[in-house]
Every structure is written in C-alpha cells, then in structure tokens.
Structure 1
Amino acid sequence: MSSQFDADNADNLEEIEKQFAVKAVNQAETYWGLLEKIPGSTLKLTKHDDDIFESLLQDFPEFKEPAKVAEIRESEMKSPEGKKRWRDFCEKFNEIEDYNFGTLLRTKSNEFYTQEGTIFAVRIQFYAIEIARNRYGLNDWAVLKK
C-alpha cells in the first residue's frame, strides 16, 4: 500500500515548526553578530554574491536605488505580483543550499532585528536584500554603534 504526502491537507507539526523557528533565529543572531564585528560593505555572504546581486538588479531594477532596498515592504513582497517576481528570482538560485529555507529578514536596514521590524522570507531573498544593503553600505552602522 503506497500513500503520497498531500502538503495541502497536512497538519502542521508543532515540533517541526519550532525547529524551523530555532534555526531561523540562530541564523539571524549569527548574521547580526557578524554585522557588529565586520562592516557589511566588506562582508561576503556566499560565493554567489556577485551573481545574486546582478540578478537582483536585473529582476528588480527599483533596487538600484539604495533607499528601496533600505526599507522592504512586506505587502509588496507578498502581493500576488511580488510573489511571482520573487518566485521567478528565487528559482534561478536553486543550486544554492537551503535557498528556499525560511529565514528572518529585517524590514529596515537601519534597525536591529525586532519583532515588529522582521518578516519571514526565504534564504535567497535574505541573501539578495542583505547583499545589496551591504554593497550600498547600509549595514555599516551596526559595527559603529558600540
């Protein structure tokens, strides 16, 4: 007897959700720890940073303007049009490990991770936004805040 997994009708398993949340929080804490020690403008997040950044600017030309990447609006990212644009972008990087794994993304580059200022995104979205922020020097304040 074979059964197939039906994701649309599956129950959310609380323990699995907790494990995902822990991993996302750990990743955010690790990243923030790096930003506090190393200017973001000198930080390399992946060996694919150049490709990710170039593709981001090609697919989202609005991000050529640093102010647009400095503040991310969840409503724009998760609108029907936004979801399609991001899905198309994300699939270009399916060779990157855990590219579609859930992670936390700050909505404003000039703020810490906070409950109100953090959204759930997939890792490649995090990479794209944070690589752009780093290249524009928008995260450099974190190392200076001490």
Structure 2
Amino acid sequence: MAQPFQAETADNLEEIEKQFAVKAVVQAETYWGLLEKIPGSTLKLTKHDDDIFEQLLADFPEFKEPANVAEIKESEMKSVTGKKRWREFCEKFNQIEDYNFGTLLRTNAKDYYTQEGTIFAVRIQFYAIEIARNRYGLNDWVKLK
C-alpha cells in the first residue's frame, strides 16, 4: 500500500528543482516581455485581479502606500510573522491554478530582474505585489524605456 506523501521528509530531486527553476525563469521573462509592450497600469494579470488587490490591501494595509509595495524586503516577507501573514493570504486564493507554484519576484519595482534584486516567492504573492505595482503605475517605466 502506498504511503501518503510527506513533504517534510521528501528528497529534493535536483532534476525536479531544475525544472521548477526553468519554469520560474520562463514566467519572469514572459511577464517582463509584457511590461515592455504594455504599460503595467493597463495590464490585467488574472481574472481575479480585483479580488487579489482588495484582499492584499485588507491583509496588508501597509501596501496602500505605493512606496511599501515598490520595494519588498525579503527579510520581512520571510520572517516568522511575515510567513504567517502571507500563508493566510495565500490560502484565500487556492482556487487559482498554480497559486502556490514557485516564481521569481523583483524586490524593487524600479529594477530589472537581477540576481541581487530577485527573490523566490509563490505565484499568488507575485500576483498580489505586481497587481499593486501595476495599479500604482510603478511598472510603467518599463514600457517607456
């Protein structure tokens, strides 16, 4: 009889990790390509953008201030408190396909994807932060460059 999957004791298979990394890079490149062609302030990422944005502001009122969403501090996001807050937020969107899939997130809306300025996040975190950045016009510079 098959045993239930235990994430805590599962091996990290290098080939699977590489495949996840490739998918995350492709997603980042695709998103950047969109920003180069379409002003972020007019871009819709999902059919749930309004709900994601409203819930982000409800759960993270500090993001009502554009400067707080322009620059994301990984240490705050991944602190014990930050992880708890984000986990509760993320679980509200488990109906969105691949909501918890790993993706790349720029830490600063004024920068390109760089090794120093990119962190690993889950897709719903990416959506929430990038939707907010787009609504605040923080990504429009990419199209204008």
Could you state the TM-score of these two structures normalised by the residue count of structure 2? 0.98
- How far does residue 5 in structure 1 lie from its aligned partner after superposition? 2.6
| CA offset digits 1:14-63 (Å, max 9, x no partner) | 11000000000000000000000100000000000000000000000000
Q: What does 1:135-146 correspond to in 2, within 5 Å? A: 135-145=135-145
RMSD, aligned α-carbons: 0.7
Partner of 2:4: 4
Identify the residue that residue 27 of structure 1 maps to in structure 2: 27
Task: Give me the whole-angstrom Cα distance separating, in 2, the residues matched to 1:3 and 1:76.
Answer: 36
Corresponding position: 1:108 with 2:108: yes
In 1, distance between residues paired with 2:2 and 2:135?
Answer: 50
Distance 2:85 2:2 in 1: 37
Give 2:15's aligned residue.
15
Q: Does 1:62 find its partner at 2:56? A: no
Q: Which runs of 5+ in 1 are unaligned?
A: none
Partner of 1:124: 124
| 2:105 aligned counterpart, secondary structure | strand
The number of residues matched between the two structures is 145
Question: What is the match of residue 93 of structure 2?
Answer: 93
Gaps of at least 5 residues in structure 2 are none
- Percent of matched pairs sharing the same residue: 85
